[in-house]
Amino acid sequence: MWFSRFLAELLETLNPAIAAVLVGAGSYLGYRMAWLGGENLTFGAGMGLVGGVVAAALVCGLIANLSLIEQHLALIADDIEEMRARDAGELDGKR
């Protein structure tokens, strides 16, 4: 269980870097496609940038929402564990 939380926190930490890579890759791919097609390089890079921002918003937004759901589920699980301990009498006198 601890490894799952570790991976979730790692993915949450790397989320901004993933967004930067997606935006950069989109710009580069737009530039390269414009260069290969003999088109305006600035326009190609700009279109790639827009595509990269859209991809980053979709991917990183999904990661952020899943991370938020995981945090809420962890809080609920901790509360349930505390309620079970209280019902079993393990928390008597700790208040």
List, for residues 28-47, the tens digit of each pLDDT value. Answer: 999 999 999 999 999 999 99
d(CA 80, CA 15): 29
| Residue 74: predicted pLDDT | 87
| Residue 40: predicted pLDDT | 93
pTM here?
0.76
DSSP one-letter code for 95: -
Burial class (CB in 10 A: 0-12, 13-18, 19+), 3: exposed
| Residue 89: predicted pLDDT | 79
List the domain boundaries for the chain: 2-87
